[in-house]
Chains A and B, each alone.
Chain A
Amino acid sequence: SAVISQKPSRDICQRGTSLTIQCQVDSQVTMMFWYRQQPGQSLTLIATANQGSEATYESGFVIDKFPISRPNLTFSTLTVSNMSPEDSSIYLCSVGYSGGAYEQFFGPGTRLTVL
């Protein structure tokens, strides 16, 4: 399985600011995804990070609020822009493969608190 790291592991931010979360994988992967887990809730898919092209966003999530980059097959970033307290969540990246293996592996998450 892939080893996934996220930075930062947690942060406390002021409303109106932005935070960029990094996701690094120890091997090349086909697919990378970003999820949000609001307090006491389940995981919701934000977007699929596509290498070299714009991310594919799920309903309810927009690029202006959650810009995503994926410059290569091992790295992606998610920015939470113009934050409000409602953005306080755990943000997780995950990786998967388009053929052969069917698992999806998750990073440790970034715990974000917005004051």
Chain B
Amino acid sequence: SQQGEEDPQALSIQEGENATMNCSYKTSINNLQWYRQNSGRGLVHLILIRSNEREKHSGRLRVTLDTSKKSSSLLITASRAADTASYFCATDLTGGGNKLTFGTGTQLKVEL
């Protein structure tokens, strides 16, 4: 498996529900970043969490990082139809020189 794998691959929920996406990685990281991509568009940066941090919040987003398990989760609370998008985690590997390694993403669909 590759660095930065998201789980699940696809998620369909109702508006108002919470959405949780997970990301696992294999090697030591400097930081982990979550991005959103709407169809046909570029990536929008959501949250960066550093290796010495365990949790960060931004609005309805909550990101956790467990370096012992090499995993991260993104929680979107009170989801909205506008949250429908693909979500990617990207790792900045230790010694990797700032380049990001992306997973294949989770496709989130929020239905009315």
Genuine A/B complex: no
Q: Which residues of A contact B (CB under 8 A)?
A: none
Q: Which residues of B contact A (CB under 8 A)?
A: none
